[in-house]
Amino acid sequence: MKNTLTLTAAEKKRFFEILEGFKKTHILVIGDFILDQFVWGSVKRISPEAPVPVVKVERESFMPGGSLNVANNIRSLRGQVCPCGIVGRDLYGRVLLKVMRKQGIETGGIVYDPTRPTSLKTRVIAHSQQVVRFDREKTDDVSKADLLKILKFVRENIKRMDVVILEDYGKGVMQPFLLKEIVRLAKKFKKPVLVDPKEKHFVYYQGVTCITPNRSEAYVGYERTHGACHQTPELETVGWGLMKKLKLDSVLITLGEDGMALFEKNRKLTRVPTAAREVFDVSGAGDTVIATLALALAAGAKMQEAAQIANLAAGIVVGKLGTATVAPEELEEAIKKAS
């Protein structure tokens, strides 16, 4: 039987104080903007043309995806969020703008690029199961001109922010030049930088405050920064190795049903037990983790406290279908039940 997170009465009181501080926080989210489209339907027969299900479409919906799902998680938990990223001047770009406004997400950080399509992920869901996903996107590096526009926005806004999140979905925004400049600015103004990493970009993340890979990403990142291993290294070797190689303050590795492993400079490894009661859909869980981690740190939490709160939030979101967010009331209830 796996260990589950338990909290003392004093810890619960402290966590409620941190949650209360969420509404005063300001988070800057920089990364790849994606529009998530959900096509909902039912299946009653197999196609006579090929052995595939025929989905009778009943409705469709749109949600902010990629780094905007992180922004939406922050907004849902009552934090103030300012996202910055690239959108094409196309139909889906207009839909994304409309969705952002509907969700109450700031749109001032949008950089428009008429040469790039807006990234679109279409998921077809029938009877609560994802049948297929279509990705329409361009993943080569965005232009230097676009990066300079992003940096201009960062320079104009970083002073009023508490934490900076770099959300790397591998769609062309996260490049060494941009990361170096953002880390330099963040250190100048003493703002923590959290990164949700992409495996192929681990060497880019030198000097950030914390990275939040899942188990698979952490192992791939270790190989990319240390070279191929003859045998699979222990988790502790991976965590401490990434810390040292990338000169990080901390590494938070999410481990699914095994909870989390937190590595901090000059501290011992902290194991955070799982908080999930039922796993229904893990898509977007990493976004919820980094969003909640940032909010908690901005509200004055220590890294261990922030990791535990983020773990509770992830335990809620994996029990929902599709790209989901967590409401403050749900997180409060999860804290109450952690005993």
Cα 212–chain centre separation: 9
pLDDT value, residue 282: 54
Asked if 227 contacts 233 with a C-beta cutoff of 8 angstroms, the reply is no
Instruction: Say whether pLDDT at 4 is over 90.
Output: no
Strand 53-66, strand 33-46: pairing: antiparallel
End-to-end CA distance of the chain: 16
Identify the pLDDT of residue 91: 97
C-alpha–C-alpha distance, residues 289 and 307, integer Å: 8
pLDDT average, residue stretch 158-186: 97
Catalytic residue among 36, 113, 162, 287: 287
How many CB atoms lie under 10 A from the CB of residue 296? 28
Query: Looking at residue 308, what is its pLDDT?
Result: 95
Whether residue 279 is predicted with pLDDT greater than 80 in this model: the reply is no
Lowest mean pLDDT among 100-104, 207-211, 255-259: 255-259
Beta bridge partners of 260: 254, 272
- Rounded Cα distance between 129 and 3, Å, is 28
Q: How confident is the model at residue 275 (pLDDT cuts 50, 70, 90)?
A: low
Q: Point out which residues pair with 66 in neighbouring strands.
A: 33
Tell whether the model's pLDDT for residue 322 goes beyond 90.
no
Cβ-based neighbours of 313, under 8 Å, separated by 6 or more: 73, 77, 288, 289, 291, 292, 326, 331, 334
pLDDT of 303 over the 80 cut: yes
CA dihedral 154, 84, 186, 241 (to 10 degrees): -150
Give pLDDT, residue 321. Answer: 62
Does residue 287 carry a catalytic annotation? yes
Please name the fold of domain 9-337.
UDP-N-acetylmuramoyl-L-alanine:D-glutamate ligase (3.40.1190)
pLDDT in the model for residue 283: 57
CB atoms under 10 Å from CB of 324, counted, come to 22
Inform me whether the pLDDT recorded for 1 exceeds 70.
no
- Alpha-carbon distance 268 to 139, whole Å? 39
Range 40-45 average pLDDT: 95
